[in-house]
Amino acid sequence: MIELPDLVAGGLTAGTLSALALGGALLRARRRQTRQRAEIAALRTRLDGSLKACTAEVEHLASRRVPAAARRVAHPHVPVPGPLQPLTVGTPLGIALENVVLALQAETAAQRTTVDAAAQAGMRGAVREIQAALYRLQDALRGLQQRYDEPELAQTLFRLDHENEQSLRRAQVTAVVCGAWVGLAREESHLVDAVTGGQARLAGYHRVRVHNHLEPGTALVSHAVEPVAIIVAELLDNALRHSSPETDVVVSLEHVAHGVCVTIDDAGLGMTRDERDRAQRLVAGDDPILLTDLGDPPRMGLAAIGRLTRQFDLRVDVSSASPYGGVRAVLRVDTHLLSHLDPLERPPAASAPRTTRTARGALLDLPRPAHAYGAETGAAEQEPAPGHHEPRHEDDGLPQRRRRTRPAASAQAPQPTPARSPERRPARSPEDAAAALGALQSGTAAARAAAAADTGAVDTGVVDTAAADTAAGAPGEAPADHIDQTDDEEGAAR
């Protein structure tokens, strides 16, 4: 038998071992719990850091990135800041934030286009009303010019008529920028008449010097006449505004391989590279035009040129400098927009600059209407019309002015002696022209009064409109817009 002390010793030993084992297990559990608490604390710290970083990114997105992204829609040069933490790039959070920026830009651009379209529609309606009122004012002023013959009043009416013409040009340009049609339907006209017509719409028209090197009869098809006149007027307006009043603006009309070029040179300060690039983008017409992109107040000249170049397949370049130190603007009219008018049957306006080329030069590279060729043979030359004389060439080789005479009634009727070409008179100011008109009308009225006193007739006081028209076209007055327009077309435009 095992004695009691041995059992007690064995039990104590077993209890001691069990206590030791249990103590070791408890110690390990406590250590594990300690480690878990440390890990939980570390995770909580990381989570707090991530939450703070995410909050900082969202705040950075709202305060910096979103405003910059919205401004970039209107101003592409504005940079958009990236994430606050570079490590965020490429992570799910960074991708989500970048998608927010892109979606904001797309929606802002769409809403901006919609709002601008609504503004343009409202402005189109307002400009139509303004144009109609200006056309009515123009009719009233011209009626007063024919009714009254006081020199001072005539001078004032001429000045008001020219100011009204400039207001019409600005209203027309605004309408074109807002998407309206050019507003006038023209018939085929000489290209030089379209250029002088655009010149007549400007305040500083007397500073423009036009050099015509085109073949006689070079004309524009009907739908290109008014766009060319508008483009030339806007290019000349820019040249006049940005050059000294003591300098001239030189315009040259030249034939090129693919049509005709109108080159405008000024002696202004020129443009910087950025300004020139922006101007070239506007006149090219490739980008959509928004009113908010044109400044405050909006500068619509180049934007209107861009609209017209895109609609009528014209080309304008303002990327080169002028040899006079300013800007060179070149308008190119391609061959498919050119036509030919017989300079004898439909000569250019009397005030248009004469071409440096002789009438014998043929337009070989320009399309001509059917009546310009022979009916059966298709020959490029026709017999001259009765009463027309070929230009006479003096010793200096320059063509002299042609005159149209009536066909002789009989073989025995004497032939009229060709008149000598009149010399060019020096240009007169509008004040001198108005004074000449008043003197002419006063003399006409006095002569009629004397004739009425001799014959017992009653003087009706009717102004000699033919004489008044002749005096109104005197040199020194604003060149008229010589682009032909029918009464029906003018009534429809108004």
Please check the confidence at residue 484 and state whether its pLDDT lies above 90. Answer: no
Give the list of residues 6+ apart from residue 263 with CB closer than 8 angstroms, or none: 251, 252, 254, 328, 329, 330, 331
Residues 66 and 98: beta-carbon distance below 8 Å: no
Residues 442 and 149: beta-carbon distance below 8 Å: yes
Would you place residue 481 in the very low, low, confident or very high pLDDT band (cuts 50, 70, 90)? low
How confident is the model at residue 216, as a pLDDT? Answer: 92
Q: What is the mean pLDDT of residues 93-114?
A: 89
Please check the confidence at residue 59 and state whether its pLDDT lies above 50. Answer: yes
Better-scored residue on pLDDT, 331 or 55? 331
Residues 78 and 46: beta-carbon distance below 8 Å: no
Q: Which amino acid is residue 453, in one-letter code?
A: A
Would you place residue 421 in the very low, low, confident or very high pLDDT band (cuts 50, 70, 90)? very low
How confident is the model at residue 432, as a pLDDT? Answer: 63
- pLDDT above 70 coverage of the chain, percent: 71
Digit-coded pLDDT (tens) for 142-184 = 899 888 888 888 889 988 998 998 999 999 999 999 988 886 6
Q: What is the mean pLDDT of residues 77-95?
A: 83
Q: What is the mean pLDDT of residues 58-66?
A: 88
CA 202 – CA 430 distance, rounded (Å): 14
Domains and their CATH numbers in the chain: 189-370+482-494 (3.30.565.10)
Residues 192 and 210: beta-carbon distance below 8 Å: yes
How confident is the model at residue 391, as a pLDDT? Answer: 41
CA end-to-end span of the chain: 139
Would you place residue 263 in the very low, low, confident or very high pLDDT band (cuts 50, 70, 90)? very high
Q: What is the mean pLDDT of residues 182-207?
A: 87
Would you place residue 448 in the very low, low, confident or very high pLDDT band (cuts 50, 70, 90)? low
CA 479 – CA 299 distance, rounded (Å): 26
Please check the confidence at residue 240 and state whether its pLDDT lies above 90. Answer: yes
Please check the confidence at residue 411 and state whether its pLDDT lies above 70. Answer: no
Would you place residue 57 in the very low, low, confident or very high pLDDT band (cuts 50, 70, 90)? confident
What mean pLDDT, rounded, does the chain reach?
76
Q: Where are the alpha helices (DSSP H) in 148-272?
A: 151-177, 191-199, 222-241
How confident is the model at residue 154, as a pLDDT? Answer: 87
How confident is the model at residue 422, as a pLDDT? Answer: 40
Q: What is the mean pLDDT of residues 202-231?
A: 92
CA 359 – CA 215 distance, rounded (Å): 7
Question: 94-98, 116-120, 224-228, 401-405 — which one is most confidently predicted on average?
Answer: 224-228
How confident is the model at residue 371, as a pLDDT? Answer: 36
How confident is the model at residue 387, as a pLDDT? Answer: 37
The DSSP bridge pattern shows strands 327-334 and 338-340 to be: unpaired
Strand, helix or coil for residue 259 = strand
How confident is the model at residue 211, as a pLDDT? Answer: 94
Please check the confidence at residue 457 and state whether its pLDDT lies above 80. Answer: no
Please check the confidence at residue 435 and state whether its pLDDT lies above 90. Answer: no
Give the lowest-confidence range in 59-63, 223-227, 245-249, 355-359: 355-359
Chain center to CA of 233: 10
Question: 8-17, 410-419, 420-429 — which one is most confidently predicted on average?
Answer: 8-17
Give the lowest-confidence range in 30-39, 88-97, 374-383, 450-459: 374-383
Please check the confidence at residue 198 and state whether its pLDDT lies above 80. Answer: yes
How confident is the model at residue 352, as a pLDDT? Answer: 86
Q: What is the mean pLDDT of residues 432-440?
A: 62
Digit-coded pLDDT (tens) for 106-151 = 998 898 889 888 988 998 889 889 988 998 999 999 899 888 888 8
Better-scored residue on pLDDT, 16 or 413? 16
How confident is the model at residue 318, as a pLDDT? Answer: 93
- CA Rg, the chain, in Å? 41
- pLDDT above 90 coverage of the chain, percent: 26
CA 267 – CA 269 distance, rounded (Å): 7
How is residue 415 annotated by DSSP? P
The long-range contacts involving 244-248, CB below 8 angstroms and separated by at least 24 positions, are 244/268, 245/204, 245/207, 247/207, 247/324, 248/207, 248/208, 248/209
Give the lowest-confidence range in 264-268, 376-380, 410-414: 376-380
Residues 215-245 as b or e (16 or more Cβ within 10 Å = b)? bbbbbbbeebbbbbbbbbbbbbbbbbeebee
Retrieve residue 138's tokens.
């123009």
